Amino acid sequence: MDQQTQSKIIQANVDTHQLEAPIYEAIHYEIFNPTEQKRLHAALTEAAKSRPSLRALDLGCGTGNMTEKLLALGFIVDAVDLSKEMIEVLRSKRKSDIESGRLKTHVGLLEHVGLEPGYGLITSYSVIHHLPDYLTTIHQCIRLLAPGGAYYIDHESLDPTRQNPLYRALYTLFGTLHAVLRFPYLVWRKILKTGFPTVYKKLRPNINYDMSDYWVHEGRSVNAEAIRALALKDGCEFQHTLYLSHGGRWMDYVLHPLFGSWCVNTQVMVIRKPL
Ligand SMILES: C[S@@+](CC[C@H](N)C(=O)[O-])C[C@H]1O[C@@H](n2cnc3c(N)ncnc32)[C@H](O)[C@@H]1O
């Protein structure tokens, strides 16, 4: 990928998360719904069972979804994110952990924040698809792990061609129904956009999701096979688990109980460094 595209992806992430920070947890119901939180808590607890060091790193920590779980599991956490606004939300929630030294926050790119190796656990939840050159970043994380430590990567969509066609068809059908129900809102938006362009721009600033979520758009997806090859080349074990994500929308409450045990659309990868 050329330097210009890399810079555009990073800038789009800075802009997107600056705007989203104050409302991030309210609008991302695909992350903060109870079913997803329960699954994530169980999977992370399992990954953290063997911990050669109590130091943890949360890369792309956002407002602290993983950081708070790592603190609850007893880790001393370095939380890294390129958005200062997202980090500010996390800092406002965990003042006492910052004062006690259990939590340190770092604004910037991983390669610029100067961390020392020796982490027992590194996490990135819903982050890898935001990184321009995710293989290089994953390689840097492997270098930061203590022997026996693990890098836990979660909430990365699976290539749609590997998803169950029946589930996809039903999801599309429910999605269309959802759009029909939202029709009055879409009309109102159109009126606002053409009638009051300045007001509209203030209410709905232009966020470039195509660039910030780079590896989920236009047929791109995070390549688990390339990550596996990298992990094995670095002498690590690679564990790949698939699950059906609960999107937290009304249709997920219908479809997830029916399909959750036999359809998949999302992946977890755990890279473990040998002792
Ligand atoms: C979808 S959010 C996930 C946040 C959090 N992990 C969670 O579970 O809610 C993606 C986060 O990655 C951060 N991010 C994007 N690109 C990054 C990069 N190159 N380096 C560090 N953080 C990055 C964004 O600022 C944002 O906070």
Burial of 67 (0-12, 13-18, 19+ CB in 10 A): buried
Distance CA 53, CA 122 (A): 11
Distance CA 57, CA 121 (A): 7
* pLDDT (average), residues 260-264: 90
- Residue 56 contacts residue 80 (beta carbons within 8 Å): no
Kindly tell me if the per-residue pLDDT of 170 is higher than 80: yes
Please indicate, yes or no, whether residues 49 and 170 belong to a single structural domain of this protein: no
Please indicate, yes or no, whether residues 92 and 221 belong to a single structural domain of this protein: yes
Kindly tell me if the per-residue pLDDT of 181 is higher than 90: no
For residue 58, the ligand 1 atom closest to its alpha carbon is 6
Distance CA 197, CA 190 (A): 10
CA distances to 30, 146, 173, 176, 251 from 170, rounded to whole Å, are 18, 44, 5, 10, 10
In this predicted structure, what is the pLDDT of residue 14? 95
134 lines ligand 1 (CB under 6 A): no
Distance CA 86, CA 17 (A): 7
Distance CA 171, CA 167 (A): 6
Q: Which of 32, 127, 222 to mutate to test the pocket of ligand 1 (most atoms within 8 A of CB)?
A: 127
Q: Residue 221: CA atoms inside 13 Å, Cβ hemisphere, count?
A: 16
Q: Please state the domain count of the chain.
A: 2
Residue 171, SS3 per DSSP: helix
Please indicate, yes or no, whether residues 58 and 125 belong to a single structural domain of this protein: yes
Residue in the block written with tokens 């259990």: 102
Predicted confidence band of residue 57 (pLDDT cuts 50, 70, 90):
very high
137 lines ligand 1 (CB under 6 A): no
Kindly tell me if the per-residue pLDDT of 126 is higher than 90: yes
* pLDDT (average), residues 115-143: 97
Please indicate, yes or no, whether residues 144 and 258 belong to a single structural domain of this protein: yes
In this predicted structure, what is the pLDDT of residue 205? 65
Q: Which pTM value belongs to this model?
A: 0.92
Please indicate, yes or no, whether residues 186 and 50 belong to a single structural domain of this protein: no
211 lines ligand 1 (CB under 6 A): no
What Rg do the C-alpha atoms of the chain give, in angstroms? 19
269 lines ligand 1 (CB under 6 A): no
Distance CA 12, CA 189 (A): 24
For residue 66, the ligand 1 atom closest to its alpha carbon is 8
Q: Which residue has the higher pLDDT, 80 or 203?
A: 80
Predicted confidence band of residue 239 (pLDDT cuts 50, 70, 90):
very high
* pLDDT (average), residues 142-147: 98
Please indicate, yes or no, whether residues 121 and 234 belong to a single structural domain of this protein: yes
Kindly tell me if the per-residue pLDDT of 200 is higher than 70: no
Please indicate, yes or no, whether residues 77 and 182 belong to a single structural domain of this protein: no
Q: Residue 86 sits in which domain range? A: 3-161+206-272
230 membership: H or E segment, kind and range:
helix 224-233
| Residue 249: CATH number of its domain | 3.40.50.150
